A and B are shown apart, each in its own frame.
Chain A
């Protein structure tokens, strides 16, 4: 006799189970009961429905026709009143009694509602079913919505509504979004993308109370007193398995309905699948394990042996434009190593977590095309030691001999993208080479490949090597020094991505081969750390070249030169008198006027430095940093003050600029010039940053040089006001500080990243760059001379004087 099967709940798991049963043509009379007045639909596709990318009919998995076709009895919009397991019957709320031989629970989960005061107000909803989705869709533009919960569901709700023109604020209790799936770095990129979509994101925000008016939600009140007005409040903070019915029926229940590996509950005739179950202590919210359970349950019902095994899970966020993937375990831990790849220009972030040569986790943002491959490596616990070097680049780079990157590049198809910034494919580079480009520079100038952020430089060189064969020698990636195999760029990426905030952290995480670096890498690391972490990192004088340690320029005989700052090249008789007095008092052998419009006292003894500084300080002068990889001078002409050609107050702006920028550390020295008219008497166009005043404003140009190389600056931007000029210069200085290799002047850096890239960043991120510059200056904009006179004058004296010891 045909057995009777009753399924409670038409969700994704039961839908899949029914399909499996139908496919196997099993002999069951099936009745499907569902509280929602509809059948199975693809619940995870509610977000595309919300955002308008899909309609409800598109996400229905089984329609009435289907149930009819396969003779499945339906009871939609019906609820179960009770279950009599002894007599094996189910009673519906309308008193209908249905007998069963096998019963399957697919009661799903209930959204968790935080019991905040006001949670029962009209307009406070969860995000669970089509009704909730409809409520959100009904909220037209010009309405405000608050979403509590910055997890997968909350963000999909937020993005969907934002796409419909609703002003959305996401309130998240943790420090970064989707903290269960993402690390901080990816969370940051995600937040940026959402903010770009017009969504306001508040992390580390505690909700206190939901405020209402006439029974309707009006606003969300946060702990800190912030009030977020809203017409609709969506709580998406998590789900709880719906176990009430099972509990009432006397089944074993914990967090969810207990099931064994065959999806059978504590009653051999009752099974459970989906979000309502608890298997081996775990509950389930993502779709992949639900489908596995459905398959196992179907086989169990057919009398076949099957076993449900919990597997690694992966997550993708269904928000247009936020390409995000996370799988496995990516928390830091002993014995775990990270491989990280970042391309800031494309907003790409990849992090692989490795333990014992096996990938155990991955977080990807911005480019998730290879996520399936990475996921399979995690799932299959593949030993990755042979492809470790190229692992992070994905499967396309694993062809051929694992450790030969050339073979991997040779295996790439012609349409494989090499340069992401400029969208240049391998074929275009090959064509350029065939047309005569025979080195990196030529390829770069003809195709633009590697001409922006430069991250793909190595790849372009490999394409050259593969195409030209022996005619081309790949320049070895220049490691910083013998202490490491990593390049400056690698290390800067590591410092940023791994949030390395001390030198030992860098040595450790980047695998330094020496105990404490050397005179080449330490000054570079010291700069990178203080530039990236101005508040967290403490400047290390012992890692600085003597000039920056003693704030004076060492001369060939071991004496020093002392150059007080003359703001914008302007001085006074009093200052000059103080300089003259100091020169006399400390028997300074040479007094010279410098090219940067100030006065150099050469030949000062090391022991005398604190004293001469104290004297100059007393006359109101400070260090001119004539010795630093930092702001040197702002050379000016007299501008409108005196000159009959001057168009703007170039001297005044020069002084302002110098007062804003002084004390800042940069990858190499930074010299500015400011000319009051295009006659350019201050020689602004061969400085690192030059400003030429014109009638209509200020032409800011960068990348000049007048040293080993002589270069003219290139125009970056023309602005109308002094304030804009100062901001633009701060922004480009900060961009240079954050991105350039140590000891690259601006022109060298510009040669690598391209002026266009610099322009775009300054234009799009100007205020943020200025803010970070100011943050750093809050620490470094001070006179090191005064500081040393007060705190370490004794360090300038001999440790001991044994001249009088008898030499018997």
Chain B
């Protein structure tokens, strides 16, 4: 069963932008698209662990700031010729606030 944690107001993350969340098991990046969708992914590119929260967000993708790998926010998969995948976590907006599923913490423990 889902157990949603209230993270922050949506406006604290800029449109076409991201912010990072610290957890006991590493950092998670929370993305907000131009259409106000939110996504949560591990904050590490599969290539050289670049901080994805610092990348440029376009459409439903983010480009890693270190070497321009492009990663789908929906699937966590790298786009184009590069191969790799980033873990994704359930995220949603309710009453203008960003919620993440507590289960993701457990998932990270298991990982």
Known A515-B34, A515-B59, A802-B105; contact A556-B48, beta-carbon cutoff 8 A: yes
Most buried by A among B21, B30, B106: B21
Chain B hits for A517, CB < 8 A: 58
A288 within 8 A of B: no
A214 within 8 A of B: no
- The answer to whether A802 and B22 touch across the interface, beta carbons within 8 angstroms, is yes
- The answer to whether A803 and B22 touch across the interface, beta carbons within 8 angstroms, is yes
For window 17-70 of B, CB contacts with A under 8 Å fall at 17, 19-25, 27, 30, 34, 48-51, 54-59, 61, 63, 65-66, 68, 70
| C-alpha gap A12/B17 in the complex (Å) | 68
Which residue in chain A gives the minimum CB-CB distance to B20?
A798
Chain B hits for A606, CB < 8 A: 51, 54
A487 within 8 A of B: no
A26 within 8 A of B: no
| C-alpha gap A724/B50 in the complex (Å) | 46
- The answer to whether B70 and A519 touch across the interface, beta carbons within 8 angstroms, is yes
Chain B hits for A514, CB < 8 A: 58-59
Min CB–CB distance A415 → chain B (angstroms) = 48
Which residue in chain A gives the minimum CB-CB distance to B61?
A518
A-side interface size class: 20 to 34
Which residue in chain A gives the minimum CB-CB distance to B106?
A807
- The answer to whether B12 and A799 touch across the interface, beta carbons within 8 angstroms, is yes
- The answer to whether A519 and B55 touch across the interface, beta carbons within 8 angstroms, is yes
Which residue in chain B gives the minimum CB-CB distance to A514?
B59
- The answer to whether A516 and B34 touch across the interface, beta carbons within 8 angstroms, is yes
Known A542-B57, A546-B54, A799-B19; contact A808-B106, beta-carbon cutoff 8 A: yes
A550 within 8 A of B: yes
Known A546-B65, A550-B54, A556-B66; contact A805-B24, beta-carbon cutoff 8 A: yes
B93 within 8 A of A: no
Chain A hits for B23, CB < 8 A: 802-803, 805
| C-alpha gap A522/B16 in the complex (Å) | 11
For window 785-808 of A, CB contacts with B under 8 Å fall at 794-795, 798-805, 807-808
B-side interface size class: 35 or more
- The answer to whether B65 and A545 touch across the interface, beta carbons within 8 angstroms, is yes
- The answer to whether A542 and B54 touch across the interface, beta carbons within 8 angstroms, is no
Which residue in chain B gives the minimum CB-CB distance to A802?
B23
Which residue in chain B gives the minimum CB-CB distance to A560?
B54
- The answer to whether A805 and B5 touch across the interface, beta carbons within 8 angstroms, is yes
A541 within 8 A of B: yes
- The answer to whether A558 and B106 touch across the interface, beta carbons within 8 angstroms, is no
Which residue in chain A gives the minimum CB-CB distance to B50?
A558
- The answer to whether B58 and A516 touch across the interface, beta carbons within 8 angstroms, is yes
For window 47-97 of B, CB contacts with A under 8 Å fall at 48-51, 54-59, 61, 63, 65-66, 68, 70
- The answer to whether B22 and A798 touch across the interface, beta carbons within 8 angstroms, is yes
A554 within 8 A of B: yes
- The answer to whether B8 and A799 touch across the interface, beta carbons within 8 angstroms, is yes
- The answer to whether A807 and B109 touch across the interface, beta carbons within 8 angstroms, is yes
Chain A hits for B19, CB < 8 A: 795, 798-799
- The answer to whether B20 and A799 touch across the interface, beta carbons within 8 angstroms, is yes
Min CB–CB distance A18 → chain B (angstroms) = 69
- The answer to whether A800 and B58 touch across the interface, beta carbons within 8 angstroms, is no
| C-alpha gap A545/B51 in the complex (Å) | 13
- The answer to whether A807 and B57 touch across the interface, beta carbons within 8 angstroms, is no
Chain B hits for A546, CB < 8 A: 54-56, 65
Min CB–CB distance B95 → chain A (angstroms) = 17
A543 within 8 A of B: yes
Which residue in chain A gives the minimum CB-CB distance to B107?
A807
Min CB–CB distance B31 → chain A (angstroms) = 11
Most buried by A among B15, B51, B109: B51
| C-alpha gap A413/B56 in the complex (Å) | 49
Cβ contacts A604-625/B at 8 Å (1 or 0 each): 0010000000000000000000
Chain A hits for B68, CB < 8 A: 519
Chain A hits for B13, CB < 8 A: 799
Min CB–CB distance A659 → chain B (angstroms) = 31
Known A517-B58, A518-B58, A542-B57; contact A554-B12, beta-carbon cutoff 8 A: no
Chain A hits for B70, CB < 8 A: 518-519
Q: Which one of B15, B56, B59, B102 lies within 8 Å of A545 (CB-CB)?
A: B56
Which residue in chain B gives the minimum CB-CB distance to A555?
B66
Min CB–CB distance A546 → chain B (angstroms) = 4
Which residue in chain B gives the minimum CB-CB distance to A518?
B58
Which residue in chain A gives the minimum CB-CB distance to B25?
A807
Chain A hits for B24, CB < 8 A: 802-805, 807
Chain B hits for A554, CB < 8 A: 51, 54, 65-66
Chain A hits for B59, CB < 8 A: 514-516, 518
Min CB–CB distance B72 → chain A (angstroms) = 13
Chain A hits for B61, CB < 8 A: 518
Most buried by A among B22, B27, B48, B102: B22
| C-alpha gap A516/B34 in the complex (Å) | 8
Known A522-B58, A554-B54, A802-B5; contact A542-B105, beta-carbon cutoff 8 A: no
Chain A hits for B25, CB < 8 A: 807
Most buried by A among B49, B56, B68, B70: B56
| C-alpha gap A544/B55 in the complex (Å) | 9
- The answer to whether A522 and B51 touch across the interface, beta carbons within 8 angstroms, is no
| C-alpha gap A807/B7 in the complex (Å) | 16
Chain B hits for A518, CB < 8 A: 56, 58-59, 61, 63, 70
| C-alpha gap A794/B9 in the complex (Å) | 13
Min CB–CB distance B51 → chain A (angstroms) = 4
For window 701-747 of A, CB contacts with B under 8 Å fall at none
Min CB–CB distance B28 → chain A (angstroms) = 8
Chain B hits for A556, CB < 8 A: 48, 66
| C-alpha gap A166/B62 in the complex (Å) | 64
Chain B hits for A804, CB < 8 A: 24
Known A516-B16, A519-B70, A800-B22; contact A807-B105, beta-carbon cutoff 8 A: yes
Which residue in chain A gives the minimum CB-CB distance to B62?
A519
Chain B hits for A800, CB < 8 A: 7-8, 21-22
Which residue in chain A gives the minimum CB-CB distance to B67?
A556
- The answer to whether B48 and A802 touch across the interface, beta carbons within 8 angstroms, is no
| C-alpha gap A702/B8 in the complex (Å) | 50
Most buried by B among A522, A546, A549: A546
| C-alpha gap A794/B61 in the complex (Å) | 25
Which residue in chain A gives the minimum CB-CB distance to B14?
A542
Min CB–CB distance A487 → chain B (angstroms) = 20
Q: Which one of B16, B22, B51 lies within 8 Å of A558 (CB-CB)?
A: B51
Min CB–CB distance A767 → chain B (angstroms) = 38
Chain A hits for B17, CB < 8 A: 542
| C-alpha gap A350/B109 in the complex (Å) | 64
Chain A hits for B27, CB < 8 A: 798
| C-alpha gap A522/B15 in the complex (Å) | 14
Chain B hits for A798, CB < 8 A: 19-22, 27
Min CB–CB distance A483 → chain B (angstroms) = 9
Which residue in chain B gives the minimum CB-CB distance to A483?
B58
Min CB–CB distance B86 → chain A (angstroms) = 15
| C-alpha gap A388/B14 in the complex (Å) | 41
Which residue in chain B gives the minimum CB-CB distance to A798?
B22
Chain A hits for B48, CB < 8 A: 556
Can you list 19 residue pairs at the A/B interface with Cβ under 8 Å?
A: A515-B59, A522-B56, A523-B56, A541-B14, A542-B16, A546-B54, A556-B48, A556-B66, A558-B49, A558-B54, A798-B20, A799-B8, A800-B7, A800-B21, A801-B21, A801-B22, A803-B22, A807-B106, A808-B106
Known: A544-B56, A798-B22. 14 other contacts (CB 8 A): A514-B58, A514-B59, A519-B68, A522-B58, A554-B66, A556-B48, A795-B19, A799-B13, A800-B21, A802-B5, A803-B22, A803-B24, A807-B106, A807-B108
CB-CB nearest 10 A-B residue pairs: A799-B19, A519-B63, A519-B56, A546-B54, A558-B51, A542-B16, A546-B65, A801-B22, A518-B58, A802-B23
Chain B interface residues toward A at CB < 8 A: 5, 7-8, 12-17, 19-25, 27, 30, 34, 48-51, 54-59, 61, 63, 65-66, 68, 70, 98, 102, 105-106, 108-109
